Amino acid sequence: MAVIENLPETTKVETTKVETAEAETNTPAQVPSLLPQRLTNVAVPVCTAIVLLLVWQFGVRFFEVPTYIAPAPTDVGAVLREDFPLLMRNFWPTFTVSVVGFFAGNIAAILIAVTFVHSRAMERAFFPMAVFVNTIPILAIAPILVLIFGPGFTAKVMIAGLICFFPTLVNMVRGLQAVSPQTLELARILSASKSEVFWKIRLPSSLPFLFSALKIAATTCVIGAIVSEWIGADVGLGALIIDSTFNYRSPLLYATVFMSSGLSVLLFVSVTITEKLVVRW
């Protein structure tokens, strides 16, 4: 016993000493290299973007490409500045359609997911139909909805909502079912009712799934809104895209595209921030 106790302990102490000595010499060398690493992470994509813009600017000028075919970044910048009121006048209708469509489509998807999870019969009856509707391209379904509901707000919201619907439905069904069998056994031992299981277990555990779907929906609802404005609308970023294309106002077209992607980013960031506040686990 005594031999066993003595021998390894002395060697152990020595090895740990060596390790700490190494660690001490290593850390100061690593610290200064960390800060430039972070800077590079930001600098590389920013520099790439600047270089690409410069190539675009000088390429267009050097080859004397007409503005109506491809405007230079400075032309687009000038339109963004000068026509800002016009852009904003068209931004807000698209914003409204996107946001209302986002809520309408997602709330419908959540409610239908809840009925699917509670009734196998409903799921069997309606899920294939949901898949079928999802396979129709939004460009093909948009005119049909405009014919049915007229070229007003309702049809636009329907189109923006429809494009959000399917990803949320699928994710929400998965999320509501993503409860471990043991957790359900716990609920049974506690004699929990169906509604208690739903509100206290199923719904909270579906939230991470819901938010990944909402992130998809935040960008696609803008696509839906813009497509809806292509058909018989006179305001909105979609209408402005059509208008500026047919009038060869390319700088305005580019500026409008820039505004639409800005709208997508705005909605995406809002969903991401909400997720951070809600899903804390």
Partner 1 sequence: MAASLSNASVKFGNFTALSDISLEIGAGEFWTILGPSGCGKSTMLRLVSDLVPPATGTVEILGKTTEAARLAREFAFVFQDATLLPWRSALKNVELPLEMGRKRGIQIPRGDRTPMELLELVGLSGREDALPHELSGGMRQRVAIARALVCQPKLLLMDEPFGALDEMTRDRLNMQLLEIWKETGVTCLFVTHSIPEAVLLGQKVLMLRAHPGRVKEVVEIDLPEPRHVKLRETPEFNRYSSYLRRSLEDC
- Write the interaction track for partner 1 spanning residues 194-233; mark x where CB under 8 A is met and - where it is not: -xx---xx--xx-x--------------------------
Least distance to partner 1, CB of residue 197, Å: 8
- 80 vs 207 by CB, closer to partner 1: 207
| Shortest Cβ 195–partner 1 spacing (Å) | 6
Q: Is 188 in the site for partner 1 (CB under 8 A)?
A: yes
Does residue 132 belong to the site contacting partner 1 (CB under 8 A)?
A: no
Distances in Å between the Cα of 92 and the Cα atoms of 60, 188, 222, 229, 255 are 32, 50, 12, 13, 15
d(CA 198, CA 238): 41
x-marked contacts with partner 1 along 163-182 as a string, rule CB under 8 A: -----------------x-x
Q: Residue 276 interacts with partner 1 (CB under 8 A)?
A: no
Is 280 one of the binding residues for partner 1 (CB under 8 A)? yes
12/188 with CB nearer partner 1: 188
Among positions 11, 31, 191, 277, the unique one binding partner 1 when judged by CB under 8 A: 191
Size of the site for partner 1 (CB under 8 A): 22
Give the separation between CA 157 and CA 161, rounded to whole angstroms.
6
Compare residues 114 and 197 and give the one whose CB is closer to partner 1: 197
Q: Is residue 136 at the binding interface for partner 1, with CB under 8 A as the rule?
A: no
Maximum alpha-carbon separation in the chain = 95
Residues that bind partner 1 in the complex, under the rule CB under 8 A:
180, 182-183, 185-193, 195-196, 200-201, 204-205, 207, 279-281
